[in-house]
């Protein structure tokens, strides 16, 4: 069955986008939440790399494979927009964020925001984060049923508020509510009923957005007049070449989006790494050896470069579970995707999570194997794309890598752990992926002299 909007122009030589019937309105939304790979595998086997389905009441063209993702994310012919792709999903909650901008608006805002992510700024953020991470991780308590995901989420949100906001007042007890507000905003993206009705996910998202705005506006006046090096203060003082600054509304919009991106995506990556290292003790020990070899302080990027095993573990964990499994786009005009005609005003789903599990590029793709990232070039430029691509490549990717590296470095130096449940961790894809069970591990404090009979040298 062809896409209902996609009749190719006569003589174009293009094919209609194939697809099939699904549950009215809901479409394949619930199947995606349960297991997107299974859904996409079925679509690929039935229709090939480009097909249509219904998600949350609208037709969506799903593009599977590195070549299609490269075409969409690099967007050389300017046929795909971000703003209208993401707005139906998260617009009311993250409008004004960089991901929901296109063209000149995007270039202007990204150019300004890049001043907040220079090498010098990153060094400042790293220096702030390091002692906070070291102390917070050390204070985790050994437990036979330690839940990694909530503990990591609290840690990364605390880091985001400290590094991005310059901290909060000691007597401000709103952080738990802030965390819940972010969860509500993110999960609203897959609401079936997208109306402001009592008890609905969409309504909770709208309420969460209002709460985040209120929270940030309370702190904004002090950041405007201060001289802090946190991101909030930096954004309040940034100027373009004409001396123009961000408005209060723009600062709040950017901060809500950046705070969400800074802690949610890092949380799932840290969580995945801990899960996999708990299932692969040989890799856990390899990483631990390198962490002991370089010493406690990893604020120097040259020192972090020596953590080659941890870097490979991070990359493979990002492959096995991409923090952003699907990237939404919107066709700005009639276009072509891999020989198929796609009309203007159509939602497109590029699928990094599928590409990361595509046996074309990754032999035995369901097996977690960090040795894939041993310095060899990628099998395809877009075979691994956890940070997106093109002009919308994640602005904070280097910040995220530093944060994740430091968390795992200090965890390895203070604890050892195993995963008691041999079954795969159940992942919920309602919005950004997260472990349904909170990801339990058996966490044991590392007794450096009894557990390690001799000083540790560099790994072979």
What domains lie within the chain, and their CATH numbers?
A: 15-445 (1.10.630.10)
Q: Estimate the crossing angle of helix 397-414 against helix 148-165, to 10 degrees.
A: 130
Nearest Cα to Cα of residue 349 among 92, 97, 40, 77? 40
Residue 340 DSSP SS3? strand
Other CB atoms within a 10 A radius of the CB of residue 338 amount to 17
H or E segment at 240? none
List, in sequence order, the alpha helices (H) in 3-61.
29-34, 36-47
- Are 78 and 107 a contacting pair, CB within 8 Å? no
Q: Which residue has the tokens 């002692």?
A: 131
Q: Which residue has the tokens 């219904």?
A: 54
151, with CB counted inside 10 A (0-12, 13-18, 19+), is buried
CA distances in angstroms from 337 to 71, 79, 328, 393, listed in the order given = 8, 10, 15, 21
Q: Provide the 8-state DSSP code for 364.
A: S
User: Cα dihedral sign for 370, 374, 380, 385?
Assistant: positive
> What is the full per-residue pLDDT of the chain (460 aa) written as tens digits?
445 556 899 899 999 999 977 777 788 988 999 999 999 999 999 999 999 999 877 899 999 999 999 999 999 999 999 999 999 888 899 999 999 999 999 999 999 999 889 999 999 999 999 999 999 999 999 999 999 999 999 999 889 888 888 888 888 888 889 888 988 998 887 777 888 889 899 999 999 999 999 999 999 998 888 788 888 888 888 887 888 889 999 999 999 998 888 788 899 999 999 999 999 999 999 999 999 999 999 999 999 999 999 999 999 999 999 999 999 999 999 999 999 999 999 999 999 999 999 999 999 999 999 999 998 899 999 999 999 999 999 999 999 999 999 999 999 999 999 999 999 999 999 888 999 999 999 999 998 644 553 444 444 3
List, in sequence order, the alpha helices (H) in 51-199.
66-74, 83-94, 103-114, 119-138, 148-165, 175-187
pTM (2 decimals)? 0.91
């Amino acid at each position: 069955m062809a896409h209902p909007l996609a009749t190719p122009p006569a003589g174009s030589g293009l094919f209609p986008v194939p697809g099939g019937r699904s549950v009215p309105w809901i479409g394949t939304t619930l199947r995606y939440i349960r297991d997107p790979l299974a859904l996409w595998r079925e679509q690929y086997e039935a229709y090939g790399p480009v097909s249509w389905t219904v998600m949350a009441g609208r037709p969506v063209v799903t593009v599977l494979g590195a070549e299609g993702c490269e075409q969409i994310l690099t967007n050389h012919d300017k046929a795909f927009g971000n703003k209208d792709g993401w707005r139906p999903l998260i617009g009311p909650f993250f409008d004004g964020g960089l991901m929901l901008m296109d063209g000149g608006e995007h270039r202007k805002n990204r150019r300004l925001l890049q001043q907040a992510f220079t090498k010098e700024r990153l060094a400042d953020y790293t220096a702030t984060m390091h002692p906070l991470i070291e102390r917070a991780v050390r204070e985790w308590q050994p437990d036979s049923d330690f839940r990694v995901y909530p503990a990591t989420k609290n840690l990364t949100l605390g880091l985001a508020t400290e590094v991005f906001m310059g901290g909060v007042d000691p007597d401000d007890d709103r952080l738990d509510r802030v965390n819940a507000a972010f969860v509500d905003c993110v999960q609203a993206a897959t609401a079936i009923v997208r109306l402001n009705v009592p008890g609905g996910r969409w309504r909770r998202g709208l309420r969460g957005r209002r709460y985040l705005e209120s929270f940030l506006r309370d702190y904004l006046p002090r950041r405007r007049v201060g001289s802090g090096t946190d991101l909030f203060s930096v954004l309040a003082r940034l100027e373009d070449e004409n001396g123009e600054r961000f408005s209060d509304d723009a600062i709040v919009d950017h901060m809500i989006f950046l705070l969400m991106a800074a802690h949610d995506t890092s949380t799932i990556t840290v969580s995945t790494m801990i899960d996999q290292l708990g299932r692969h003790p040989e890799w856990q020990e390899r990483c631990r050896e390198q962490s002991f070899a370089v010493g406690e302080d990893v604020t120097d990027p040259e020192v972090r470069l020596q953590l080659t095993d941890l870097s490979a573990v991070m990359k493979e964990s990002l492959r096995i579970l991409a923090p952003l499994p699907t990237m939404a786009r919107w066709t700005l005009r009639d276009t072509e995707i891999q020989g198929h005609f796609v009309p203007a005003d159509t939602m497109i789903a590029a699928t990094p999570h599928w590409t990361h599990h595509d046996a074309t590029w990754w032999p035995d793709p369901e097996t977690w194997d960090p040795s894939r990232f041993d310095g060899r070039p990628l099998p395809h430029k877009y075979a691994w794309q956890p940070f997106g691509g093109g002009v919308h490549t994640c602005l904070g990717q280097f910040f995220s890598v530093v944060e994740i590296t430091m968390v795992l470095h200090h965890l390895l130096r203070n604890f050892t752990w195993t995963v008691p449940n041999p079954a795969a961790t159940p992942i919920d894809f309602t919005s950004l992926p997260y472990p349904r069970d909170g990801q339990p591990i058996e966490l044991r404090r590392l007794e450096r002299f009894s557990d390690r009979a001799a000083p540790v040298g560099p790994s072979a």
